[in-house]
Chains A and B, each alone.
Chain A
Amino acid sequence: DIQMTQSPSTLSASVGDRVTITCRASQSISTWLAWYQQKPGKAPKLLIYKASSLESGVPSRFSGSGSGTEFTLTIRSLQPDDFATYYCQQYDNYWTFGQGTKVEIK
């Protein structure tokens, strides 16, 4: 099965910062990679699919890139609403999630 590893596990940042989260797959998954945002007590929300496609309604400050085994989620200018936990998820072979990256206030 395909393992997904995110780094860092926790990230401290300030409003306005550029934030980058990395996700690595244990084998090539082409661009079958999604990113989700989850806030405490809430369901995850789809942000990015197919590695770099922005889901409808998601602010353009979010962007994704990568292919094969290495992927990144970038938040161009962190906003107060963006403090949350972010998960990557592969869907090349079944569906597996990374362990999550918590973006907290510095």
Chain B
Amino acid sequence: QLQLLESGPGLVKPSVTLSLTCTVSGDSISTGNYFWGWIRQPPGKGLEWIGSIHYSGTTYYNPSLKSRVTISVDTSKNQFSLKLSSVTAADTSVFYCARQPVEVVTPDVFDIWGQGTMVTVSS
């Protein structure tokens, strides 16, 4: 069945760019019927959508993070990636990747999630 797995450094220094990758297995990321999203959750807090991408390159970004976020897709590796620049301690979170079915033309809910990866921003 479909599985998503996040990977990346668990510790990054303030002001650098955080980079994470989500590897999709069990189906092709290029099916066209899905977007692929990133969501984060600071320790003990709620969920925040970061952004989503379609294999065609269409992206949606959270307006509050848009200036710092880049999401890209690599169909040859069946992966999509997140870059978050100029990180601070406030960006310390568990980062999840997730699948979003397409509703007509726009992404829908998050129906399948990765297990999440904890990233701490600290010097």
Stretch at the interface among B16-24, B26-34, B74-82, B113-121: B113-121
Cβ B109 vs Cβ A94 within 8 A = no
Q: Looking across the interface, which residue of chain A has its beta carbon closest to that of B60?
A: A94
Q: Could you tell me the distance between the alpha carbons of A98 and B37 in the complex, rounded to whole angstroms?
A: 18
- Complex CA distance for A34 and B100, rounded to whole angstroms: 12
B102 CB, nearest partner CB in chain A, Å: 12
Chain A 55-106 residues near chain B, CB threshold 8 A: 55, 87, 89, 91, 94-100
Contacts between chains A and B (CB distance < 8 A), count: 51
Query: Most B CB atoms within 10 A — which of A36, A46, A49, A94?
Result: A94
A42 to B113, CA, bound (A): 10
Docked complex Cα distance between A23 and B11 (Å):
35
The closest CB in chain A to the CB of B97 belongs to A43
Report the minimal beta-carbon distance from B42 to chain A, rounded to whole angstroms. Answer: 12
- Chain B nearest CB: distance from A34 CB in Å? 4
Residues from chain A with Cβ under 8 Å of B96 in the complex: 43-44
Q: A91-B109, A97-B46 are known contacts; what are 4 more A-B pairs with Cβ within 8 Å?
A: A1-B64, A36-B110, A46-B110, A49-B108
Q: Is the CB of A87 within 8 A of B62?
A: no
Verify A44–B109 contact, CB threshold 8 A: no
Interface residues of A (CB under 8 A from B): 1, 34, 36, 42-46, 49, 55, 87, 89, 91, 94-100
Contact partner of B47 (CB less than 8 A), chosen from A44, A46, A55, is: A44
Complex alpha-carbon distance, A7 and B115, angstroms = 27
The 9 closest A-B pairs by CB, nearest first: A43-B113, A95-B49, A97-B47, A34-B109, A49-B109, A99-B46, A100-B46, A46-B111, A43-B116
Q: How far is the CA of A89 from the CA of B98 in the complex (A)?
A: 14
9 A-B interface contacts by CB (under 8 A): A1-B64, A34-B109, A49-B111, A91-B107, A94-B49, A94-B63, A95-B107, A96-B49, A97-B49
